[in-house]
């Protein structure tokens, strides 16, 4: 079965951005789910299943985006027969993009004793630093008021 957009399977340096622009109704990069969700997952196959469940797409739609036969994908998720057990790394990454969550990657990290967190963006870093500076300035302002260098505010 040909995917709704063949470009989705070309995973190169710009794959995430391209996939996000091609997917209908998708908002932003894949999100992390609460660690409590990850703790309940017992296998990679179950992580794939949960990834699809948490998305807004059906198994068939996800399979089409991944360019995998829908029946084979369904068997893989359910563990039926001699079906391949896991996705290739590039397909797993694309699964997370399509589904909008990082469940398989979070599960892998959890199995190794790690917990993922999203990296701070440049804008978030600047915002945090400005808030810290403002906090310091407010402390200095209160000290100056306390020592009478600046007038106190009356409520």
**For residues 68-93, b (16+ Cβ closer than 10 Å) or e, as one string?**
bebeebbebbeeeeeeeeebeeebbb
Residue 33 backbone phi and psi in degrees, to 5: -100, 160
| Nearest CA-CA partner of 55 in 123, 116, 102 | 102
The sign of the torsion formed by the CA atoms of 59, 62, 68, 73 equals negative
pLDDT for position 81? 58
- pLDDT string in tens for the chain (155-residue length): 444 444 433 444 455 555 555 565 555 778 999 999 999 999 999 999 999 999 989 999 999 989 889 998 998 898 765 656 788 888 999 999 999 999 999 999 999 999 988 888 899 999 999 999 999 999 999 999 989 888 877 65
* Beta bridge partner(s), residue 101: 31
pLDDT for position 88? 86
pLDDT for position 10? 43
- Is 90 within 8 Å of 19 (Cβ atoms)? no
């Amino acid at each position: 079965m040909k995917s709704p957009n063949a470009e989705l399977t070309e995973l190169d340096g710009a794959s995430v951005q391209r996939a996000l622009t091609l997917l209908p109704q998708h908002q932003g990069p894949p999100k992390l789910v609460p660690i409590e969700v990850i703790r309940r997952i017992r296998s990679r196959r179950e992580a794939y299943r949960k990834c699809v469940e948490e998305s807004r797409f059906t198994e068939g739609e996800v399979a089409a985006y991944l360019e995998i036969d829908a029946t084979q994908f369904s068997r893989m998720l359910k563990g039926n027969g001699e079906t391949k057990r896991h996705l290739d790394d590039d397909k797993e990454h694309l699964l997370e993009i399509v589904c909008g969550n990082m469940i398989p990657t979070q599960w892998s990290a959890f199995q190794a004793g790690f917990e993922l967190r999203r990296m701070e963006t440049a804008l978030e870093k600047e915002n945090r630093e400005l808030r810290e500076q403002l906090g310091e300035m407010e402390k200095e302002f209160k000290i100056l008021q306390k020592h009478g260098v600046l007038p106190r505010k009356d409520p």
